[in-house]
Chain A
């Protein structure tokens, strides 16, 4: 600071008549998105959502045949619409959970890391509004990453393999237009368990106050659920595991559409997401901000 004195008159000008709306969840949400835009990890996740499909398409173009042990693997040279669907299957293991956890696990913990929680909690928005705004931003990021990934996979796939009719799991051929619609809807259904994973990431972010622990923890939960699914003797649990719900979209690719796994994916995902979000909210609302 210079050595000039602060003798100049009034510290603040008189209040203006024009006042903006009282800030709320929308304000917090808008600012969370702006903060995400300024963070490198945001682009790391989105970059993976773009690069992985491109690398996959390059691999497809460079060798004949395809993964025959997964649904739609045999059609990746026939139609580009099969590419995003195969990626959904591969991505559920760790890629999409990791991308969503990158932001969900960080969004509260980074406030502790930066010491900024006390800064924002002493303004004019309630803790509940801050929690809701941040949770919405984390969900938005997961949705954006999925949409970007599916779009890149579809576009790149169609460039390499063509925008051709798609053969469903029932063996029927559907037009490219309807196939595109089914890819979009499948991505939407896939988002249900992914948002449940995001909710778990938010809980770990609130509870651990540590970004790395929350991101790794979220991924570990996701992998653990997949391990449980393949353990002998626990087959009866499979319908209720989050990992199983990542395959629910395949119900759309049958003729007629099999809604049962899709409906189950909805309530099973909610069964994981709602308690995680509720616990995260309660902890956030009641916690002592003794550090950040």
Chain B
């Protein structure tokens, strides 16, 4: 196998007419990663995956799978398998015949693997039936089975649990977990946050074709930990104090009302703020650190302007000492660990 990380994508762009489906996407998936490619529907995840598999040509940019360019032929897909959107098969052939066909197109010992991959996805009993009669969940599992025939070192899965019932989703996650534990590198495209949270060690969050965050899940969740909730005896004056306090910014957080939502550079800044409030004869009723769930971070990054806890509102307050007001988006996604501006 060629050298290079399982997936390396640089400045990938895909334009359809005047629609930019994928906008300068860059990411690297390292060996052993279970990499979540997270974004709402229509964010460009599937288009990116299609380019990674060589199904569509990028308008610009490059994809390398283990150092090889998938546009130069299927040799680049050696050790790579997966599916984009729902896995599709010939409905008039049985599950086993579909796998035989695909194993034939894979060569090697793929055909001899059919019984065990059917066993792995628990489809042995239905293998003789035509795929046209399969449920959505069975087709998803057959898609995994078809991927396993290639003995993949890298598995690209596009929304594998979408459309499954709760038990099906749970079992699909177990299966993906088991595959990852067996040493496969997995790229998991999904819009299901709990799925990504449960399975992935690293994520890229994509919004409108652009990656707004790439890094570890732990860093993503920690990125929201600099936010504090403050309730005082006089919130109006407290807001003025906060504005003048070094290392403290107010952010919009409608769900925090009637309290104030703050972002602090560090705990020392928070301690200093408490002393400033005391000096101003403002009583502190509540001052506690907020942690952001993955869901909050996701919505902030994909629906807001890149701030986990809402935009900075310091421009709504008078600038202290004639200093220019801070920008409404003074700290955008680039302040997140690993974020791509």
Contact in complex: B56, A289 (CB < 8 Å) = yes
In the complex, A236 has a CB within 8 A of chain B: no
CB distance from B109 to the nearest CB of A (A): 5
In the complex, A124 has a CB within 8 A of chain B: yes
Q: Which of A22-49 contact B (CB under 8 A)?
A: 22-23, 27-28, 30-31, 34-35, 38-39
Contact in complex: A15, B109 (CB < 8 Å) = yes
A11 and B148 in contact, given A1-B141, A121-B55 (Cβ under 8 angstroms): yes
In the complex, B88 has a CB within 8 A of chain A: yes
User: Contact partner of B120 among A11, A116, A119, A290, CB < 8 A?
Assistant: A11
Chain A residues with CB below 8 A from B73, complex form: 126
Contact in complex: B56, A123 (CB < 8 Å) = no
User: Contact partner of A122 among B53, B108, B109, B179, CB < 8 A?
Assistant: B53
Interface size grouping (class) on chain B = 35 or more
Closest to B56 in A: A288
Contact in complex: A3, B171 (CB < 8 Å) = yes
Contact in complex: B106, A23 (CB < 8 Å) = yes
Contact in complex: B107, A20 (CB < 8 Å) = yes
A31 and B92 in contact, given A1-B141, A289-B55 (Cβ under 8 angstroms): no
A12 and B102 in contact, given A1-B122, A6-B174, A288-B56 (Cβ under 8 angstroms): no
Contact in complex: A118, B182 (CB < 8 Å) = no
A12 and B117 in contact, given A35-B93, A118-B55, A121-B55 (Cβ under 8 angstroms): yes
Contact in complex: B50, A123 (CB < 8 Å) = no
Chain B residues with CB below 8 A from A11, complex form: 120, 148, 178-179, 182
Contact in complex: A35, B82 (CB < 8 Å) = no
- Binary per-residue interface labels of chain B (160-180) against chain A in the complex, 1 for a CB within 8 Å, 0 otherwise: 000000011001101101110
A68 to B229, alpha carbons, bound, how many Å?
100
In the complex, B105 has a CB within 8 A of chain A: yes
Contact in complex: B50, A289 (CB < 8 Å) = yes
Contact in complex: A20, B108 (CB < 8 Å) = yes
A68 to B127, alpha carbons, bound, how many Å?
58
Interface size grouping (class) on chain A = 35 or more
Contact in complex: B106, A123 (CB < 8 Å) = yes
Q: Which of B98-155 contact A (CB under 8 A)?
A: 101-102, 104-109, 111-113, 116-117, 120-122, 137, 141, 146, 148, 150-151
Contact in complex: A1, B168 (CB < 8 Å) = yes
A121 to B120, alpha carbons, bound, how many Å?
24
CB distance from A152 to the nearest CB of B (A): 27
A2 to B3, alpha carbons, bound, how many Å?
40
A16 and B174 in contact, given A1-B167, A119-B102 (Cβ under 8 angstroms): no
In the complex, A184 has a CB within 8 A of chain B: no
Chain B residues with CB below 8 A from A290, complex form: 47, 50, 55-56
Contact in complex: B116, A123 (CB < 8 Å) = no
Chain A residues with CB below 8 A from B77, complex form: 122-124
CB distance from A7 to the nearest CB of B (A): 8
Q: Which of A122-173 contact B (CB under 8 A)?
A: 122-126
A23 and B105 in contact, given A11-B120, A121-B55, A122-B53 (Cβ under 8 angstroms): yes
User: Contact partner of A10 among B50, B174, B182, CB < 8 A?
Assistant: B182
In the complex, B67 has a CB within 8 A of chain A: no
In the complex, A19 has a CB within 8 A of chain B: yes
Contact in complex: B116, A12 (CB < 8 Å) = yes
Contact in complex: B104, A23 (CB < 8 Å) = yes
CB distance from A139 to the nearest CB of B (A): 20
CB distance from B245 to the nearest CB of A (A): 53
CB distance from A72 to the nearest CB of B (A): 41
Q: Which of the listed residues A6, A13, A118 has the most CB atoms from chain B within 10 Å of its own CB? A: A6
A247 to B135, alpha carbons, bound, how many Å?
52
Contact in complex: B56, A122 (CB < 8 Å) = no
CB distance from B68 to the nearest CB of A (A): 13
A119 to B84, alpha carbons, bound, how many Å?
9
Chain A residues with CB below 8 A from B168, complex form: 1
Chain A residues with CB below 8 A from B171, complex form: 1-3, 6
Q: Which of B203-234 contact A (CB under 8 A)?
A: none
Q: A1-B141, A20-B107, A120-B105 known; 7 other A-B pairs, CB under 8 Å?
A: A6-B120, A11-B178, A16-B112, A119-B87, A119-B102, A122-B55, A292-B88
Q: What are 7 A-B pairs at a CB distance below 8 A?
A: A1-B167, A21-B107, A35-B101, A115-B86, A118-B83, A118-B85, A126-B74
- Chain B interface residues (CB < 8 Å from chain A): 47, 50, 53-57, 73-74, 77-78, 80-93, 97, 101-102, 104-109, 111-113, 116-117, 120-122, 137, 141, 146, 148, 150-151, 167-168, 171-172, 174-175, 177-179, 182
- Cβ-closest 8 pairs across A and B: A115-B88, A288-B56, A123-B105, A289-B55, A23-B107, A1-B171, A6-B178, A11-B182
